[in-house]
A and B are shown apart, each in its own frame.
Chain A
Amino acid sequence: MGGKGSGGPNGGPQYNPANVSAVGGAGQSGKQPTRYISGMPYGQGQKLMEQQKSAPMSMPVAQKGEMGGFAPVEPLKNLRTLLDDTTNPLEPSSTGIDFGRGAGSSVMPQNLVQDSRPLENQAIVKKYLPAFANAAKSKNAPDSFKGFVNYLVGKLNA
């Protein structure tokens, strides 16, 4: 027992510090691993671990991609572009606008009807005005840019 050559490191893969699973050991069982949640009151962490072990959750199927990677949850296969044919040919092209055929702007979602530009401009003024003011002082800055900066300064004072 305990003869020469036994009991010491055998140089196996467990000694390679780079030999770490890319999925953290959570990739083979098909179940989500149990995780200890720290910061809980005394005894609660252990209780949660036991709960997780007793009812393991399966791995989300949508996240399993080919080659072991992660695939998008919802592939955008049917995403259309602006230049595609309309999917609603009977709807007048002026629907949503207050002229021409079709319903007016009342059918548009409220977040598209409401003019949010004043609020946007306020946020822009706070964020970018110092840099813009500096650029407006630069050599040969065009009057149009100076006018734009003046407009933003006006919004600051409004």
Chain B
Amino acid sequence: MLEWQPGSLYDNIDKFATSLGYENAGIAITLGMIPWESTDDRDAFIETITGDTPKGGNFTNYNSQF
């Protein structure tokens, strides 16, 4: 079964969809498909465009190995 991984496609989409709002699914998925250098880069971008900290899943609900 698929395990949730930070920085994966679905994790990116989760961060963008939750940070930008579900109604902006189109742009959230497009931005989620960008091969971000790191989760920090991605989160910095989200902070820049929203002026807020990234929302979405975090370490508490990821796989316990993280």
Contacts and interface: CB of A to CB of B under 8 A. Distances in A.
B61 A128 contact: no
Q: Is the interface of A mostly helix, strand, loop or mixed?
A: helix
A144 interface: yes
B64 to A, nearest CB: 8
Given A135-B2, A148-B18, A142 B29 contact: no
Given A135-B2, A148-B14, A148-B17, A142 B26 contact: no
A142 B61 contact: yes
Given A124-B29, A135-B10, A148-B14, A142 B4 contact: yes
Given A138-B4, A148-B17, A148-B18, A128 B24 contact: no
Interface residues of B, number: 23
Given A135-B10, A138-B3, A139-B3, A144 B26 contact: no
Contacts of B13: 132, 145, 148
A77 B27 CA distance: 28
Nearest to A148: B17
Given A135-B10, A148-B14, A148-B17, A142 B25 contact: no
Nearest to B2: A138
A59 to B, nearest CB: 39
Nearest to A155: B25
Contacts of B14: 142, 144-145, 148
Contacts of A120: 25-26
A141 interface: yes
A137 to B, nearest CB: 8
Given A132-B10, A135-B10, A148-B17, A140 B22 contact: no
Given A138-B1, A140-B4, A145-B14, A121 B57 contact: no
Interface of A: 117, 120-121, 124, 128, 132, 134-135, 137-145, 147-148, 151-152
